Amino acid sequence: MTEIARTVHQIARPEGFPTAEQFRLVESPVPAPEPGTALVENLWWSVDPYHREMMDGAFALHTPLEGRALGRVIASRTEALPEGEVVFHRKGWRTHAVVGPEETRRLPGGGSLPGVPLSAFLSVLGGTGLTAYVALTRTARLRPGEDVFISSAAGGVGSAAGRFARLLGARTLVGSAGSAAKAARLTSSLGFDAAFDYHEGPVAELLGEAAPEGLDVAVENVGGDHLEGAIARLREHGRIAWVGAVGQYHHLASPPPAPRNLYSVVGKSLRLEGVLVRNHLDAQEELYDFALPHLRSGRLVPDETVVDGFEHIVAAFLGMLRGENTGKMLVRATG
C-alpha cells in the first residue's frame, strides 16, 4: 500500500468559469482508521455539475472537496466494513478516505455482478441515474406512449434519462445537445428519435421543428431558453421535471431572464416541479430493481466518458463543465 494520500482542495472562489489555478493537489500520509471506521482506497470518482455551484461558497476553502466515489476497504476497525469490500461513499476528490458505516452504501453483489461494470454504480446506478429515474417516474410520472423532451441529453443525467424513458415506454424521444456531433450521436446511438444542436437557433423553434405535434414530458437540465422552449411545446397537462440549470452556473451574478412564457404554465395546466435527488434516496433500491435486469440483458448501456488517473480529476471536472463528455464523466484510478 502506498504511504502517500493525495487530496484536491479548492483554494479560491471562481468568478465565472472555474480554472485549474483555483485547485491544489495536496499530499499527506495515508490516514489510519479510528475504532468504528475503515480506510478506503478510492477506485472511481464522479465529477458533477453541482460541484460548480458549491464552489461559490458551500465548499470550504483549503479542505478536501466532497464528491461521490467508489473505494475498496483496505484497513478496517469495524465489522460493518470488512476489508476487501467495495463501497459507495461521498468522500471523493482524494485517493484515500476514512469512513464510518453510516457514511457508506454497500453495493449489490459487493459491486461484482455479471454484466454490470463497477463504474455503473456512479453512473446509471448512482446519483446520476437516480436523478434521471426519479425525474421520470416520481416527478413527471411518465406513462407509456408519451412524448418526451430531454435537454442536455448527451450529458450524464440527460443520457440516463433518455435510456430510462425508452425502457419506460416513451413513444417519441427528443433531445438537445451542445454540438452537431453530439446531436447526431443521440439519434444514432442513444435511441433518440430527433435531436438538435441548441447553438443552431432559438431553442423554441428548434424544438418545434423536432416535435411539431407537441410533447407530454420535459426533463430540463439547462434552464433559460430551454425551459421556455419546453413550456411552449408541452401539451395541456404536460409535466416538467426541472433537474438543473447548467446554462447559468457560471453566470450567477447575471442569470438569464426567466422564461417569457411562464404564464403558459397556468394556461395549459402544466406542472413544473424541481428535482433534488437527496429528497429521493429511498428510491435507490427501486432503481436497482428497475435497472439491473436491463444492464444484465444488454438493453441498458451506461454512457460514460472515463478519464484515467486521479491527477487528472480537475481536468475532468473542467472538461465536463465545457461539455467534453458524452454521458457521465468519471475518473478511474490507475496503477
User: pLDDT tens across 256-280, in order?
Assistant: 677 899 999 999 999 999 999 999 9
pLDDT tens-digit profile of 307-327? 999 999 999 999 999 999 999
Cα separation, 117 vs 298, whole angstroms: 12
Whether the Cβ atoms of residue 250 and residue 265 lie closer than 8 Å to each other: no
CATH code 3.90.180.10 region(s) in the chain: 4-116+303-332
Percentage, residues of the chain above pLDDT 70: 96
CB atoms within 10 A of CB 309: 13
Q: What is the pLDDT of residue 254?
A: 60
Q: Where are the alpha helices (DSSP H) in 55-138?
A: 127-134
Q: What is the pLDDT confidence band of residue 1, given thresholds at 50, 70 and 90?
A: low
Distance CA 334, CA 306 (A): 12
Q: Sign of torsion, CA 252 317 286 81? A: negative
- Least Cα distance to 118 among 153, 69, 164 occurs for 69
- Position 2 scores a pLDDT of 65
Q: How many CB atoms lie within 10 A of CB 181?
A: 11
Architecture of domain 127-278: 3-Layer(aba) Sandwich (3.40)
Give yes or no for a contact between 188 and 175, defined as CB atoms under 8 angstroms apart.
no
Amino acid at 42: N
Summarised one tens digit per residue, pLDDT across range 3-46 is: 899 999 999 999 889 999 999 999 999 999 999 999 999 999 99
CA Rg value for the chain? 20
Q: How confident is the model at residue 246 (pLDDT cuts 50, 70, 90)?
A: confident
Give whole-number Cα distances, 208 to 18, 96, 155, 232, in Å: 34, 49, 22, 8
d(CA 243, CA 276): 7
Task: With cut-offs at 50, 70 and 90, classify the pLDDT of residue 247.
Answer: low
Give the whole-angstrom CA distance, residue 129 versus residue 68: 13
Average pLDDT of every residue of the chain: 94
pLDDT band at 244; cut points 50, 70, 90: confident
The full DSSP string for 144-204 is TT-EEEETTTTBHHHHHHHHHHHHTT-SEEEEEESSHHHHHHHHHTS--SEEEEGGGS-HH
Q: Measured between alpha carbons, how far is 29 from 204 in angstroms, rounded to an integer?
A: 54
CATH 3.40.50.720 placement within the chain: 127-278
φ/ψ of residue 332, rounded to 5: -115, 135
State pLDDT tens for residues 117-166.
Answer: 999 999 999 999 999 999 999 999 999 999 999 999 999 999 999 999 99
The CATH number given to 4-116+303-332 is 3.90.180.10
Residues 6 or more apart whose Cβ sits within 8 Å of residue 322: none
Chain-centroid distance of CA 291 in Å reads 16
pLDDT value of residue 266: 97
Residue whose cell numbers read 450521436: 185
